Amino acid sequence: MKKTLLTVSVASVLGFSSLGAIDIASASTKINSLKEQKSQLQEKQSEINSQLDEKHDAIDEVQNEQASVDQEIKRIDLAVEDTEVKIREKEKQVTEAEANIQKLQGEIATLEERIAKRNELLKDRARSFQENGRITYFDVLLGAKSFSDFIDRMGAIAVFVAADQDILNEHKADKEELEAKRTEMENTLASLKKMQADLESMKKSLAAQKAEKEKVMASLEHEEEHMHAEMADLEEADQLLAAQKKAIQKAIELEQKRQAEAAAKAKQSSSNGGGGSVSAPPVSSGNFTKPAQGYLSSGFGNRSLGDHKGIDIAASGTVPIVAAADGVVIRSYYSSSYGNCIFISHSINGQIYTTVYAHMRQRMASEGQVVSKGQQIGLMGNTGRSYGQHLHFELHKGEWNMSKSNAINPVGIVPL
């Protein structure tokens, strides 16, 4: 009996030991599995971190490339603007030189005609002397019949001598002036030829600069950024928002002043039986006028390459851009995306509007300036991130903001 109990006890101990060993082995396997999973996760995390680092590096590289492209675009735009200014100055000089040549040709023709007529006069006088036997003034004096006749003859001779001397002096002066005019015209013609050569060289340089701009623009990836989605960077936005507050207040004050003046005129007109003065008609009916001549090359709204928060008006040549309504210039500056641009704040019947004019060749209005509807503020161009000459025009019902949430379609509001 004791032997049996001992065997059972030993078996029990052996059984429990075996089960404990199994549990320990299982736990050890789980721990190793967890460690392996952890190691795999760490590897994946390391891989993800590495990918993230690569992405950040790529983003930094793209941003650096973009900044480099923006700087290159700005450099070309400034070079184009400088060349265009020089071309306009040179064209003005050419026009003035051509006008001066025409004037000189007229003056030379007059002098030549005067000299020719005087030559004929002198020839007639010489011929008369020959036909009359070369009678001298001394012979005339000796032919006097009395002292009184002698005095008369002396006076007449003095008059003739003075007249002859005047004719000779005038003849000499005209010949000298004619020579001077001919020399001046030769110099002007030589200068004109040089100016025309310089002008041709400038135009070739301008064409090369524009071709360079197109090449730089072509290097930008359209899928990455819509070229017409003009956006200001954060620094520009801060400056715009700061300047906008001042401009809005000034625009409101201007509208209040206009309304007060209109009310005063209406009251005066009523008291005078309608005999008051009539103001000049506006550039166009309504509150807004078309900002530039040309055709609508791009509309407002979503497109394949992005959300276009404005419209594009395109035209070739020298195209003036005007303020679409009375207002106050918020900012007038060069932007890497907008190029030469002007922002204007308007207060119309108590509603604030903001208009934007981008890609201009030249700006003709400065920050804080009060402008009237139809007043020229610049010239249409192709500056900034722009393809071809056009005006990018935005209309915002309210203030301008970075997201352009107040942008509205100008079609139907602004006569286009």
Could you tell me the residue ranges of all domains in the chain?
Answer: 72-215, 234-266+285-408
271's CB contacts (< 8 A; 6+ apart) are none
Among 332, 328, 360, 357, smallest CA distance to 344 is for 328
Question: What is the pLDDT, as a whole number, of residue 355?
Answer: 97
264's CB contacts (< 8 A; 6+ apart) are none
Contact 408, 323 (CB under 8 A): no
**Phi, psi of 337, rounded to the nearest 5 degrees:** -100, -45
Is the confidence at residue 81, as pLDDT, over 70?
yes
Query: Judging by beta carbons within 10 Å of its beta carbon (0-12, 13-18, 19+), is residue 358 exposed, middle or buried?
Result: buried
Taking the CA of residue 191 as centre, how many other CA atoms within 13 Å lie in the half-sphere pointing to its CB?
Answer: 16
Is the confidence at residue 210, as pLDDT, over 80?
no
What pLDDT band is residue 320 in, cutting at 50, 70 and 90? very high
From residue 266, alpha-carbon distances to 272, 274, 347, 348, 412 in Å are 10, 9, 21, 19, 30
User: In this predicted model, which residue has the larger pLDDT, 52 or 195?
Assistant: 195
15's CB contacts (< 8 A; 6+ apart) are none
Is the confidence at residue 228, as pLDDT, over 50?
no
Tell me what the pLDDT averaged over the chain comes to: 74
HEC-encoded secondary structure of the chain: CHHHHHHHHHHHHHHHHHHHHHHHHHHHHHHHHHHHHHHHHHHHHHHHHHHHHHHHHHHHHHHHHHHHHHHHHHHHHHHHHHHHHHHHHHHHHHHHHHHHHHHHHHHHHHHHHHHHHHHHHHHHHHHHHHHCCCCCHHHHHHCCCCHHHHHHHHHHHHHHHHHHHHHHHHHHHHHHHHHHHHHHHHHHHHHHHHHHHHHHHHHHHHHHHHHHHHHHHHCCCCCCCCCCCCCCCHHHHHHHHHHHHHHHHHHHHHHHHHHHHHHHHHHHHHHCCCCCCCCCCCCCCCCCCCCECCEEEECCEEECCEEECCEEEECCCCCEEECCCCEEEEEEEEECCCEEEEEEEEEECCEEEEEEEEEECEECCCCCCEECCCCEEEECECCCCCCCCEEEEEEEECCCCCCCCCEECCECCECC
CATH of 234-266+285-408, one of 3.10.20.600, 2.40.33.10, 2.70.70.10, 3.40.50.620: 2.70.70.10
Question: What is the pLDDT, as a whole number, of residue 214?
Answer: 76
Q: Which two tokens stand for residue 240?
A: 């715009």
Q: What is the pTM of this model?
A: 0.57
Question: What is the pLDDT, as a whole number, of residue 161?
Answer: 55
Question: What is the pLDDT, as a whole number, of residue 137?
Answer: 52
164's CB contacts (< 8 A; 6+ apart) are 125
Is the confidence at residue 396, as pLDDT, over 90?
yes
From residue 364, alpha-carbon distances to 328, 377, 379 in Å are 13, 5, 8
Q: What is the pLDDT of residues 7-52, one digit of tens each?
A: 444 444 444 444 455 555 655 665 565 556 556 555 655 565 555 5
Query: Judging by beta carbons within 10 Å of its beta carbon (0-12, 13-18, 19+), is residue 398 exposed, middle or buried?
Result: middle
Is the confidence at residue 332, as pLDDT, over 70?
yes
Q: What is the pLDDT of residues 143-159, one digit of tens each?
A: 555 656 556 555 555 55
**Phi, psi of 335, rounded to the nearest 5 degrees:** -115, 145
The gap between the terminal CA atoms of the chain, to the nearest Å, is: 117
Each residue of 128-162: b (16+ CB within 10 Å) or e? eeeeeeeeeeeeeeeeeeeeeeeeebeeeeeeeee
Question: What is the pLDDT, as a whole number, of residue 372?
Answer: 93
Question: What is the pLDDT, as a whole number, of residue 260?
Answer: 80
Is the confidence at residue 200, as pLDDT, over 60?
yes
The whole-angstrom separation of Cα 341 and Cα 362 is 9
The whole-angstrom separation of Cα 11 and Cα 19 is 12
The whole-angstrom separation of Cα 84 and Cα 340 is 14
Is the confidence at residue 342, as pLDDT, over 60?
yes
Contact 365, 386 (CB under 8 A): no
Is the confidence at residue 371, as pLDDT, over 70?
yes
Q: What is the mean pLDDT of residues 354-359?
A: 96
| Class of domain 72-215 as given by CATH | mainly alpha
Q: What is the mean pLDDT of residues 223-227?
A: 40
